[in-house]
Amino acid sequence: MKKILLTLSIIILLPLNMLAYSENIIPGGENIGIEINSEGLIVVGFYKVNGKYIGSETLEVGDIILTIEGVNVDSINEMSAAIEKNIKNNEVNIQIKRNGKIKNAKLTLIKDEGVYKTGLYIKEKVTGIGTITYIDPKTKIYGALGHEIIMNETKSRVEVKSGNIYESYVNGIDRSVDGAVGSKNATILYEKQLGTINENKSVGIFGKYNKTLPEKETLKVAEWKDIKTGAAKIYTITEKDVVEEYEIEITKLNKNEINSNKSISFKITDERLLERSGGIVQGMSGSPIIQDDKIIGAVTHVIIDDVNNGYGVFIRTMLEEGEN
């Protein structure tokens, strides 16, 4: 079986002319830095204190610590301050979220060398890189990645409290080979914020683009019936900050997966891109797919055992999620 790698009930019927997104959008291709601040603090592992994994007595990997003694904690510094101020009998009351449900618990701590230790490995934010897919010129809503952001340690979708996207500069590429997916190496320019991150969904991250819109021609948004197997291209960066076009071939249209991030199957055919990257690499997720001068989707996955091949998401699926 081929392995696949990621490269987040009331129905209201609206007439087509009431759709909020534009029928002509600005194509992306630019590399972006991503920073998401989650709600609370995420437990990603445990360490021994005096020979015991004291944190695992109460918590599980993936738990989100929301409060300590009623005090909201969104950073490790806030957590430390709340513990120091409120600890009694080597324990504190905490509120956590586990599998979407709120629970109350007690966290035991051990004082070691004058410092209270929790036995927990904690994350307060998630960072990474990807590719912007589109910007709607009317609403300034953007979409990127084409798939959700999953935290490696917990294998769960990251919940967004706040977040930003930034300019990013590609320094080089670790090439893909069958069985081992490579990645873009990039520097995130935190002083150059591009926009906010409001949602992390199964078909991408979405938010508001806050900078002046790129001076690019818009492309028409394709209907599903417009897409066909055969030649197409992607926009992406392989060096510095220059977006280039690369040839691909649409190999299959998966209509039964039209609402998922695997509705379009494709393979890279451009010899320049194969020479530079070896195939699809991490960081290409979100690269827009263009066919017949229409934007049809975005790169989302690579097939690990055959890195020239991958999947894409249908562009209207992204647009609809971005507007919800």
Is 285 annotated in the active site? yes
Regions of the chain with pLDDT less than 70: 1-19
Range 135-138 contact pairs with CB under 8 angstroms and sequence separation of 24 or more: 135/25, 135/26, 135/28, 135/209, 135/213, 135/214, 136/21, 136/22, 136/25, 136/26, 136/319, 136/322, 137/22, 137/24, 137/25, 137/26, 137/213, 137/218, 138/22
What size, in residues, is the chain?
324
pLDDT in tens, 159-186: 899 999 999 999 999 999 999 999 999 9
pLDDT at 42: 93
Percentage of the chain beyond pLDDT 70 is: 94
Q: Say what the pLDDT of residue 152 is.
A: 83
Specify whether 301 is catalytic.
no
Q: What is the pLDDT of residue 296?
A: 98
Identified catalytic residue from 74, 285, 287, 301: 285
Residue 302 · residue 3 · CB < 8 Å:
no
pLDDT, tens digit (0-9, with 9 covering 90-100), for 5-37: 555 333 333 344 455 899 999 999 999 999 999
| Catalytic residue selected from 74, 147, 168, 301 | 147
Which of 156, 174, 260, 270 is catalytic? The answer is 270
